[in-house]
Structure 1
Amino acid sequence: MMDVGGRRLRVAHWRLDEPSDHPPMLFFNGIGANIEAVAPLAEMLTERGFVMFDMPGTGESPDPTLPYNPFTMCWTAAQILGRLGIELVDVMGVSWGGAMAQHFALQHPGRTRRLVLTATTAGMLMVPGNPAALTKMADPRRYIDPEFMNEHFATLYGGVDKDGAAHQKDSHIGRLKPPSPRGYFYQLIAMLGWTSLPALPFMNKEVLIMMGDDDQIVPLVNGKILASAIRNSRLEIIEGGGHLFLLTHADESVAALREFLDAPSTEAELSRAA
């Protein structure tokens, strides 16, 4: 637990005390998700440090007293990095957290090397997903009811066949802890009216956009919109991947991440570092 930015937050980090040729990864989670949901990804990226935290009212972080917005939470994330002695990071976000990752890179360009946007959008200016999936997404039973998750996993997330849904449910739901009602509501309203689209043409980072072509919540076209707006970006499409392709297609996802993050620095990056 860390008291930072006027909030008490649960922070997790991996391998920060180990030597590495790579900057650590700062990760922003999806809405309502706790640290454990993405811990397997952190454990697979063994060659680099990894930092993430539970948003207020999710996981083990206490409920927020006041609402927050992307600016204040990205400022708080920068304070966490400072407390951990980290100057430069690669930034990654999934879904709701992808919007936070975009905002962090725009708000703190000096602390951001590269950016990875996963199953996400430019904010309010987005193409909505399958109404059936969005309706079930709002149902709190997806956090606590294995039968509900087993029945609706494919509708919720896509990217798995009917036989594979039960296995993925067992793996995923065992790591989830439901957010508090206030925590979930504050995450929803944090992004009201927010969009990165006007600022994206000015993004001067190397950006990897990863999307699943069977995502029922964030359709692939949103990734194409991001790619068209960010000049130094590339779009990686996970074939058969749904909203949770980081879980269902873990090996393929990690391979794409490593290829992008470990590529030699560009002239623009070297110039900015100088």
Structure 2
Amino acid sequence: MMEVGGRTLRVAHWRLGEPADHPPLLFFNGIGANIEAVAPLAEMLTERAFIMFDMPGTGESPDPSVPYNPFTMCWTAAQILDQLGLDVVDVMGVSWGGAMAQHFALQYPKRTRRLVLAATTAGMLMVPGNPAALTKMANPRRYIDPEFMNEHFATLYGGADKDGSAHQKDSHIGRLKPPSPRGYLYQLIAMIGWTSLPALPFLSKEVLIMMGGDDQIVPLVNGKILNAAIRNSHLEVINDGGHLFLLTHADECVDLLRTFLDGPETQAELSRAA
């Protein structure tokens, strides 16, 4: 638990302080998701430090006392990096957290080396997903009722027919902890009216966009919109992946992440570093 900018937040980090040839990775989670939901990804990226925190009212972080927005929460994330003694990081976000990751890179360009956006959108200017999935996504039973989640998993997340998906599904359900009603509400209202689209053409970072071809919540076309708006971006599609492809297709995703994050520095990055 860390005191950060007047908030108490639960922060997790892996391999921090160990010798590494790669910058740490700052990760922004999806809406309502706790640290444990994405811990398997952090554990697989053994060659780099990984930092993640529970948003106010999710996981073990206490309820927020006042609403927040992307600017204030990205400032809070920067304060966490300061307390951990970190300067430049790679930044990654999934779904709701992908919007936060975009905002962080735009707000703190000198602290962001490369950016990874997974299953996400440009905010309010997005193409909505399957209505059946969206209505079930908004139902708090998906956090507290394993039978509800099990019954509607394919509708919620897509990509459920892949070999081994049953194990991944059960493992994911077992790691979820429901957010508080206030925590979930404040995450929803934080993004009201927010979009990155006008600013994305000015984003000069190297960006990897990862999308699931069977994502019922964030359709693939949203990744194509991001790819068209960001000049130094590359789109990778997990063809049979749903909204949780980072977990159901973990090996494939980790290979893509390593190829991108460990790739040679571009001339623009070398110029900024100089």
In the TM superposition, what is the alpha-carbon distance from 1:149 to its structure 2 partner? 1.3
Question: Structure 2 regions of 5+ residues with no counterpart?
Answer: none
SS in 1 for 2:268: helix
Q: What TM-score, normalized to structure 2?
A: 0.98
Equivalent residues in 2 for 1:167-178, closer than 5 Å: 167-178=167-178
In the TM superposition, what is the alpha-carbon distance from 1:75 to its structure 2 partner? 0.3
Query: In the TM superposition, what whole-angstrom CA distance separates every residue of 1:48-92 from its partner, at most 9, and x where no partner exists?
Result: 000000000000000000000000000000000000000010000
Task: Indicate if the aligned counterparts of 1:212 and 1:242 stay in contact, CA closer than 8 A.
Answer: yes
Query: In the TM superposition, what whole-angstrom CA distance separates every residue of 1:26-64 from its partner, at most 9, and x where no partner exists?
Result: 000000000000000000000000000000000000000
SS in 1 for 2:8: strand
For residues 199 and 147 of structure 1, the distance between their equivalents in structure 2, rounded to whole angstroms, comes to 42
Equivalent residues in 2 for 1:24-63, closer than 5 Å: 24-63=24-63
For residues 19 and 164 of structure 2, the distance between their equivalents in structure 1, rounded to whole angstroms, comes to 38
Residue 142 of structure 1 corresponds to which residue in structure 2? Answer: 142
In the TM superposition, what is the alpha-carbon distance from 1:105 to its structure 2 partner? 0.1
For residues 169 and 259 of structure 1, the distance between their equivalents in structure 2, rounded to whole angstroms, comes to 27
Match status 1:89 vs 2:89? yes
For residues 162 and 120 of structure 1, the distance between their equivalents in structure 2, rounded to whole angstroms, comes to 22
For residues 162 and 221 of structure 1, the distance between their equivalents in structure 2, rounded to whole angstroms, comes to 22
Task: Indicate if the aligned counterparts of 2:162 and 2:240 stay in contact, CA closer than 8 A.
Answer: no
Task: Indicate if the aligned counterparts of 2:27 and 2:51 stay in contact, CA closer than 8 A.
Answer: yes
**CA RMSD of the aligned region, Å?**
1.0
For residues 165 and 86 of structure 1, the distance between their equivalents in structure 2, rounded to whole angstroms, comes to 36
For residues 162 and 43 of structure 1, the distance between their equivalents in structure 2, rounded to whole angstroms, comes to 22
For residues 149 and 62 of structure 1, the distance between their equivalents in structure 2, rounded to whole angstroms, comes to 25
Residue 189 of structure 1 corresponds to which residue in structure 2? Answer: 189
Residue 268 of structure 1 corresponds to which residue in structure 2? Answer: 268
Match status 1:129 vs 2:129? yes
For residues 165 and 113 of structure 1, the distance between their equivalents in structure 2, rounded to whole angstroms, comes to 33
Task: Indicate if the aligned counterparts of 2:165 and 2:248 stay in contact, CA closer than 8 A.
Answer: no
Task: Indicate if the aligned counterparts of 1:154 and 1:165 stay in contact, CA closer than 8 A.
Answer: no
For residues 245 and 58 of structure 1, the distance between their equivalents in structure 2, rounded to whole angstroms, comes to 22
Task: Indicate if the aligned counterparts of 1:24 and 1:50 stay in contact, CA closer than 8 A.
Answer: yes
Task: Indicate if the aligned counterparts of 1:92 and 1:115 stay in contact, CA closer than 8 A.
Answer: yes
Aligned partner letter, 1:133 = A
Task: Indicate if the aligned counterparts of 1:146 and 1:169 stay in contact, CA closer than 8 A.
Answer: no
For residues 78 and 60 of structure 1, the distance between their equivalents in structure 2, rounded to whole angstroms, comes to 20
Match status 1:70 vs 2:96? no
Task: Indicate if the aligned counterparts of 2:27 and 2:92 stay in contact, CA closer than 8 A.
Answer: yes
Runs of 4+ in 1 over 4 A off after TM superposition: 162-165
SS in 1 for 2:120: coil
In the TM superposition, what is the alpha-carbon distance from 1:161 to its structure 2 partner? 1.5
